[in-house]
């Protein structure tokens, strides 16, 4: 993934468009297999990155393909909106005004009422589907921040709603259970992964009584969307949507490794860890990809499944 000139960005945008404009086989849609086009998109996201500056339509189109969002019904969304406030509206309003509050670009594009409407509608959708879903959903802490990138990226609230719903229900359902089970699993896995990839850093943090639960909770809960700037968050999410949200745990470790020297030299590292440095997606993704190779297969398998697999124990 390299930063590039306007000419090469335009060429990359052309390559993405070529893939996007190819007809997708109905066979892969039916069977749930990943078609060749999606595989090419994933490779290009990893190697080139999505050149949003050269073509602002690319990211929303690519996210919809990666999430397999085909069925967008305006009638369904409007019906949820017409029902008005859901039963947890007050809880939603307590969080929405704070969402990415320091990001002026976000505030200019996404008004608070858009966030409230999307989250209300999601609670109504979950209310209607509770008989058919294995897991129930309502509004929980952190959901406002997970909704923010979709409202910022998608051309309409309608598309943002269906992408967000698919993302929550299929990619990370355990992250938004009332107990935040997936988040706590992710934090425990972060400790286990760090112990393997950097035993010295792990031991130093442990000596200071710092576990991932203490310093990494916001980054795991929000899939790093809490760390500005937003353009870098979106680039990181391109990678997570392409290859799996489980990789966010390794992206948090990557951020630790980028500040490793300062952390190891600090007598009170929590001061540094309370607010991570501004996010830099390219080096974080590069480090996260290399970390995959350092993990034992059974641990990596656990990492892959932690956002969604229900343990029947």
Note whether 92 and 185 are same-domain residues.
no
Tell me the pLDDT band of 71, cut-offs 50, 70 and 90: confident
| Lowest-confidence pick of 18-22, 236-240, 241-245 | 18-22
Note whether 275 and 296 are same-domain residues.
yes
Note whether 214 and 131 are same-domain residues.
no
**The pLDDT value given to residue 7:** 83
Residue 202 belongs to some domain of the structure? yes
Angle of helix 143-153 versus helix 112-129 axis, rounded to 10? 110
CATH number of the domain encompassing residue 110: 1.10.8
**The pLDDT value given to residue 51:** 96
Note whether 187 and 136 are same-domain residues.
no
Query: Among all chains, which residue has been given the structure tokens 């509004």?
Result: 139
Q: What is the residue-wise DSSP string for 134-166?
A: SS-----TTHHHHHHHHHHHSSSHHHHHHHHHH
**The pLDDT value given to residue 23:** 81
Q: How far is CA 226 from CA 17, 40, 230, in A?
A: 30, 30, 9
Token code pair at residue 234? 């979106």
Q: How many domains does the chain have?
A: 2
Q: Which domain holds residue 274?
A: 181-306
The last residue of one of the domains, among 172, 194, 219, is 172
Token code pair at residue 174? 């355990």
Alpha helices in 89-229 (DSSP H): 89-96, 104-109, 112-129, 143-153, 157-166, 181-197, 199-207, 212-215, 217-221
Note whether 154 and 237 are same-domain residues.
no
**The pLDDT value given to residue 32:** 55
The last residue of one of the domains, among 172, 190, 211, is 172
Tell me the pLDDT band of 1, cut-offs 50, 70 and 90: low
Which residues neighbour 207 within 8 Å (Cβ) at sequence distance 6 or greater?
none
Query: Among all chains, which residue has been given the structure tokens 């809880």?
Result: 91
Cis-peptide, bond into residue 229, ω within 30° of zero: yes
As a whole number of angstroms, the distance between CA 186 and CA 306 comes to: 7
Residue 65 belongs to some domain of the structure? no
Note whether 222 and 159 are same-domain residues.
no
Residue 15 belongs to some domain of the structure? no
Is the CB of residue 124 less than 8 Å from the CB of residue 86? yes
| pLDDT score of 214 more than 60 | yes
- Average pLDDT for residues 84-103, to the nearest whole number? 95
Span 270-310, pLDDT tens digits? 999 999 999 999 999 999 999 999 999 999 999 999 999 98
**The pLDDT value given to residue 4:** 63
Is the CB of residue 185 less than 8 Å from the CB of residue 86? no
Note whether 200 and 125 are same-domain residues.
no
Residue 29 belongs to some domain of the structure? no
As a whole number of angstroms, the distance between CA 172 and CA 183 comes to: 9
The overall average pLDDT reported for the chain is 94
Note whether 213 and 154 are same-domain residues.
no
**Half-sphere exposure for 125 (CA within 13 Å, toward CB):** 20
Span 10-65, pLDDT tens digits? 999 999 999 999 887 655 555 556 689 999 999 999 999 999 999 999 999 999 99
Residue 200 belongs to some domain of the structure? yes
Nearest to 55 by CA among 17, 24, 19: 17
């Amino acid at each position: 993934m390299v930063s590039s000139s306007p000419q090469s960005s335009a060429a990359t945008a052309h390559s993405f468009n070529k893939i996007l404009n190819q007809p997708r086989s109905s066979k892969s849609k039916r069977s749930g297999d990943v078609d060749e086009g999606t595989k090419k998109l994933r490779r290009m996201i990893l190697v080139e990155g999505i050149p949003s500056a050269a073509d602002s339509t690319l990211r929303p189109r690519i996210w919809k393909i990666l999430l397999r969002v085909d069925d967008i019904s305006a009638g369904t969304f409007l019906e949820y909106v017409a029902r008005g406030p859901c039963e947890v509206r007050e809880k939603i309003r307590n969080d929405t005004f704070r969402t990415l509050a320091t990001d002026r670009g976000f505030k200019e594009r996404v008004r608070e009422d858009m966030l409230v409407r999307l989250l209300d509608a999601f609670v109504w959708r979950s209310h209607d589907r509770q008989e058919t879903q294995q897991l129930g959903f309502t509004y929980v802490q952190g959901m406002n921040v997970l909704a923010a990138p979709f409202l910022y990226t998608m051309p309409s609230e309608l598309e943002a709603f269906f992408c967000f719903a698919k993302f929550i229900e299929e990619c990370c359902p355990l992250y938004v259970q009332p107990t935040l089970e997936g988040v706590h699993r992710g934090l425990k896995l972060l400790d286990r992964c760090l112990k393997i990839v950097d035993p010295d850093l792990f031991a130093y943090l442990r000596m200071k009584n710092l576990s991932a639960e203490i310093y990494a909770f916001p980054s795991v809960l929000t899939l790093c969307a809490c760390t500005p700037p937003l353009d870098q968050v979106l680039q990181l999410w391109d990678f997570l949507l392409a290859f799996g949200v489980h990789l966010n745990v390794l992206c948090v470790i990557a951020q630790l490794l980028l500040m490793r020297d300062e952390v190891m030299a600090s007598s009170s590292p929590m001061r540094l860890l309370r607010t991570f440095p501004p996010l830099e997606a390219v080096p974080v993704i590069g480090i996260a990809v290399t970390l995959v190779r350092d993990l034992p297969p059974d641990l990596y398998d656990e990492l892959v499944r932690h956002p969604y697999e229900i343990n029947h124990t």
